[in-house]
Amino acid sequence: MDTPVTPPELLLPGEPRFSNAYDNLTYSTKLGVDVTRNFSLNWTARYIDATLKFTGDDFTIPPFTGVPAASQSTQTVQQFFTRGEAVWSPFGEGFKSFVSLAYTDHINKTLDPINGPSSNDGDRIKTDWRGLLTFAPGQTVLVGVENQIERLNTDTTSAQETNQAGYVELQSKMAPGLFLAANARYDDNETFGGHATWRVAPSYVLPWTDTKLKASIGTGFKAPTLNQRFVDFPSFGFFANPNLLPEQSLGWDVGFEQPFLNDRIRVGVTYFHNDIKDLIQANFTTYENVGRATTFGYETFAAWTITDKLRVRADYTYTEAIDDITGMELLRRPKNKIGFTTAWVPFDPITLSGTVIYVGERLDIPREGGADVVAPAYTLVNLAGEYKLDSRVALFGRVDNLLNEHYQDPTGFLRPGLGVFGGVRFSN
């Protein structure tokens, strides 16, 4: 698929514009067998072979801030994902034990006419066990442990990191209409040490109005990835930062949902607030930690089941995202996002759907360098349809960006215009 990406105004006089070209072949399988009544085995695998031709930036031309390169770069990616799982239920649904082993391999090679070839090869091995115990009606406990080893090899660096974790979660119906989900987790990261996180989320349904009151509060820990710390992108003058620190956060939210007309109409509002320490953010040339940042706002929705065959839903999110050190907005976080979705079944076996997505203005970095800019808002209209030939085979089609909206996200990179797609879907 060829897609124009470079805005014409960034090209030097007389310089040709190349469309990005992307080809992808994906193979996947999912298998399962019940060995006995209480023991089963599951296995999934996916292999992706992709090639991307793209236009990088040339920093050798004055004023050395980067202009689109006069020749294309080629990137090839091979990815392999597999996961095997054994499930044992010695006491039926009262207790289930899951043991799994997962492996991921990612090979990335780039041929850049200006910067030369580069490559990186990474893999991840994850083993985990989790047990699900239902010890009384409405009372469930989940416990688990996991071990993850991640390795990375680039042209200049080799890195490895191990993360071990244990967790426990309670899902409880404490009283009629009163529910509680609570969990705790401890991560022992080879590079960044031990970190404990937790979350508590109660909810209550008022018996006389069916109003659902809900809230949550919890902490977070996110270590920077090996890619963020060691993988460079010289085609765009972007380089890794090996000195990144992990993100840590405290967040909470509170809201309600209200049904009407036997739940044919449902509306809801949720306010959220997050305090983040060492937020990882990309600037013009690398990743950096923002000392302290705050995000807050609210999410609202309204859903209406007009008939059994026609449903509509509207969503609106308002977000403030602030760097607490500088007082500036965080990059690429729009204050306003609106979504409208409709699904219609005119008659079986046809399903039609449409979405309208509005993304508001947001602060961004221009591709060619310089001061931050305000990226303009854009609106997308997408359509989709499906025709089921039988329980296993369906024809599908979709139209993306129906109105051929021209927009850049991030700034300096055009997004695809009108696109029409179709195919056949097979399922068991």
Domains of the chain, residue spans: 1-114
Q: Are 266 and 260 in contact (CB under 8 A)?
A: yes
Whole-model pTM? 0.90
How crowded is residue 69: how many other Cβ atoms within 10 Å of its Cβ?
Answer: 24
Which residues have C-beta within 8 Å of that of residue 153, sequence separation ≥ 6? 120, 121, 122
What is the model's pLDDT at position 61? 79
Check whether 1 has a pLDDT greater than 70: no
Helix and strand element counts for the chain (H, E): 1, 24
What is the model's pLDDT at position 369? 76
Reply yes or no: is the peptide bond before residue 410 cis, omega within 30 of 0.
yes
For residue 421, give the nearest of 391, 392, 399 by alpha carbon.
399
Q: Are 275 and 303 in contact (CB under 8 A)?
A: no
Q: Are 306 and 247 in contact (CB under 8 A)?
A: no
CA–CA dist 301, 313 (Å, integer):
7
CA–CA dist 370, 215 (Å, integer):
42
What is the model's pLDDT at position 165? 98
As a whole number of angstroms, the longest Cα–Cα distance in the chain is: 74
Check whether 2 has a pLDDT greater than 90: no
Query: If you ran DSSP here, which 8-state letter would residue 239 be given?
Result: B
What is the model's pLDDT at position 66? 77
Which residues have C-beta within 8 Å of that of residue 103, sequence separation ≥ 6? 80, 81, 82, 83, 123, 124, 125, 126
DSSP 3-state of 9: helix
In tens, the pLDDT along 193-209 reads: 999 999 999 999 999 99
Query: What mean pLDDT comes out for the span 342-347?
Result: 96
Q: What percent of the chain has pLDDT over 70?
A: 100
In tens, the pLDDT along 164-189 reads: 999 999 999 999 999 999 999 999 99
Chain mean position to CA 310: 29
In tens, the pLDDT along 136-158 reads: 999 999 999 999 999 999 999 99
CA–CA dist 110, 117 (Å, integer):
6
Q: Are 157 and 230 in contact (CB under 8 A)?
A: yes
Check whether 64 has a pLDDT greater than 80: no
Q: How confident is the model at residue 341 (pLDDT cuts 50, 70, 90)?
A: very high
Mean pLDDT for the chain overall? 94
Q: How confident is the model at residue 391 (pLDDT cuts 50, 70, 90)?
A: confident
Higher pLDDT, 62 or 405: 405
- How far is CA 126 from each of CA 11, 15, 30, 203, 233, rounded to the nearest angstrom? 45, 48, 19, 34, 27
Pair of tokens at residue 84: 């095997």
How crowded is residue 276: how many other Cβ atoms within 10 Å of its Cβ?
Answer: 22
**H or E segment and range at residue 229:** helix 226-230
In tens, the pLDDT along 262-278 reads: 999 999 999 999 999 99
Pair of tokens at residue 248: 């840590």
Query: What mean pLDDT comes out for the span 287-292?
Result: 94
DSSP 3-state of 93: helix
- Please give the single-letter amino acid code of residue 251: G
CA–CA dist 56, 236 (Å, integer):
6
DSSP letters, 146-176, are: EEEEEEEEESS-EEEEEEEEEEEEEEEEEET
For residue 77, give the nearest of 106, 53, 115 by alpha carbon.
106
Which residues have C-beta within 8 Å of that of residue 116, sequence separation ≥ 6? none
How crowded is residue 366: how many other Cβ atoms within 10 Å of its Cβ?
Answer: 18
Query: What mean pLDDT comes out for the span 404-414?
Result: 93
Pair of tokens at residue 364: 């961004």
How crowded is residue 362: how many other Cβ atoms within 10 Å of its Cβ?
Answer: 24
What is the model's pLDDT at position 287? 95
DSSP 3-state of 36: strand
Check whether 45 has a pLDDT greater than 80: yes
The secondary structure of the chain in percent helix, strand, coil, rounded to multiples of 5, reads: 5, 70, 30
How crowded is residue 231: how many other Cβ atoms within 10 Å of its Cβ?
Answer: 19
CA–CA dist 340, 382 (Å, integer):
10
Query: What mean pLDDT comes out for the span 237-254?
Result: 96
Which residues have C-beta within 8 Å of that of residue 374, sequence separation ≥ 6? 361, 362, 363, 364
